[in-house]
Amino acid sequence: MNYRTASIEEALQIYNLVQRTIRTIYPQYYPAEVVDFFCGHHSLDAVRQDIEKGHVSVLTKQDTIVGTGSFAENHITRVYVLPECQGEGYGTLIMKRLEEEIAAHYGEAQLDASLPAARLYEKLGYRTVRHEKLPVERGVVLAYEVMEKALWQKPGPIDTRRSIRRYEDKPVEAETIARILDAARVAPSAKNRQPWKFLVYSKEAKQELLHCMRTGIEREKKMPDLPGSAFGIPDAENTLRVMESAPVVVLVLDTNGKSPFVPLDTDERFTEINDMLSIGAAVENMLLRAETMDIGTLWIGNTCFAYRELTEYIGTKAQLVGAVALGYKAERPRMRTRKKPEEIVEYYI
């Protein structure tokens, strides 16, 4: 047996496998209208598009495709085995391989279960989270189950943290803010320099700060300090809107750092690199502690577009590293696509 990524040249073979399996198996469970719906859903174009995205695999036996599996993000979208090959464990093998691919990026797998496959999914540890109905042709309704399975045991804040850009109109308690900042305080730092400082803004003070940031962004459009980064100004304006909606904004300073407009010698540059590593650890501690308290966060670097205005406003010669927005979540987005492990890791062991 060989399980591998499908090629575009195999699109027609995969399509024919899926269509034959549906036409053979599904009439035992569904009326003709539903069978036709499934066949149309898994069209040749749909198969081709999924292959082009790299999300389709095939299981071959003696160079013959006997099964196929597809996924999009953490959603398993297509698992079919030739009718004459069913009952031999091929479907289970495909499912496990799909789960391995999904687990590299997500803590759970989801799927829409057809009646013929629901029992297999239950045996593999999937549970129904809701029932759905979909009208098809001539008044017929397709009923199906949405199922999911945890791929990682007890996902922690590292797994569940997301960048939040929509917040509830609800203040964050002072004690909660203090606990989040205390997590930053205990982060590791190079030579134990602890180069961080955090300025917390809310209510009117936050609005004054962000008015200053808006002034800086408008100035950047006309007299740029960062002419090579002008493409990022619209994103900075969007970030400003997020900051305005968040109940709390925390500015992050490097107390050992210098203004980015001041040249550094080599020793100073390496010191700055190590201090940035330290501050990054402190900010990540903040984000993870906030996640354990169900507080949403957004790590912000777009303060660079108003660097001069913001540092002048707060009256500091320390380096402004960025900001963190805090607030109760008004959204729960999925994890954005991450690079695969083999793209970022090399082993020499």
Range of the domain at 284: 157-328
Q: What pLDDT sits at residue 159?
A: 86
Write out pLDDT tens, residues 280-337. 999 999 999 999 999 999 999 999 999 999 999 999 999 999 999 999 999 999 888 8
Same domain for 323 and 176, yes or no, is yes
- Whether 338 is in a domain gets the answer no
**78 and 138 part of one domain:** yes
**Residues 68 and 26 reside in one and the same domain:** yes
pLDDT at 120: 87
Question: How many separate domains does the chain show?
Answer: 2
Report the CATH number at residue 185. 3.40.109.10
Q: Of the residues 98, 125, 150, which one is the last residue of a structural domain?
A: 150
Judge if 139 and 162 occupy the same domain: no
CATH code for the domain of 137: 3.40.630.30
- What pLDDT is stored for residue 276 in this prediction? 97
Tell me whether residue 348 is in a domain: no
Tell me: the pLDDT tens digits for 159-212? 889 999 999 999 999 999 999 999 999 999 999 999 999 999 999 999 999 999
pLDDT of residue 154: 64
Cα angle 84, 90, 94 (rounded to 5 degrees) comes to: 135
Residues 146 and 269 in one domain: no
Identify the H or E element spanning 253. strand 248-254
pLDDT surpassing 80 at residue 153: no
Tokens of 340: 């695969």
H-helix segments, 2-43: 11-25, 32-41
Per the prediction, the chain carries an average pLDDT of: 95
pLDDT, tens only, 86-124: 999 999 999 999 999 999 888 899 999 988 888 889 999
Average pLDDT of the residues in 206-219:
98
The answer to the question of residue 163 being in a domain is: yes
Question: Is 344 among the domain residues?
Answer: no
Q: Is 203 left (phi over 0), alpha (psi -120 to 50) or beta?
A: left
Query: In the predicted model, what is the mean pLDDT of residues 246-254?
Result: 98
- 165 and 113 in a single domain? The answer is no
CA 115 vs CA 25, 102, 269, 304: distances in Å: 10, 23, 62, 55
Sequence letter at residue 323: A
State the sign of the Cα–Cα–Cα–Cα dihedral 232, 237, 240, 242.
negative
Residues 161, 298, single domain; the answer is yes
From 93, 125, 150, the end of a domain falls on 150
Q: Which of 85, 63, 82, 75 is nearest to 4 (CA)?
A: 63
Alpha carbons 211 and 227: distance in angstroms, whole number: 22
Q: Which amino acid is at 341?
A: P
- Domain membership of residue 97 (yes or no) is yes
What is the 3-state composition of the chain as percent helix, strand, coil, each rounded to the nearest 5?
A: 50, 25, 30
In angstroms, rounded to a whole number, what is the distance separating the alpha carbons of residues 73 and 108? 10
Helices 11-25 and 32-41: angle between axes, nearest 10 degrees: 170
pTM of the model: 0.59
Q: Are 306 and 212 in contact (CB under 8 A)?
A: yes
pLDDT over 80 (residue 141): yes
Q: What gap in Å lies between CA 146 and CA 127, rounded to an integer?
A: 8
Q: How confident is the model at residue 338, as a pLDDT?
A: 86
Q: Are residues 281 and 317 in the same domain?
A: yes
Q: Are residues 137 and 34 in the same domain?
A: yes
CA distance 71 to 111: 9
222 and 276 in a single domain? The answer is yes
Q: Are residues 132 and 215 in the same domain?
A: no
Identify the DSSP state of 151: S
**What pLDDT is stored for residue 117 in this prediction?**
86
286 by DSSP, 3-state: which? helix
In a domain, residue 335? The reply is no
Largest CA distance in the chain: 76
Would residue 267 count as lying in a domain? Answer: yes
Which of 97, 132, 150 marks a domain boundary? Answer: 150
Do 96 and 185 sit in the same domain of this protein?
no
Q: Is residue 333 part of a domain?
A: no
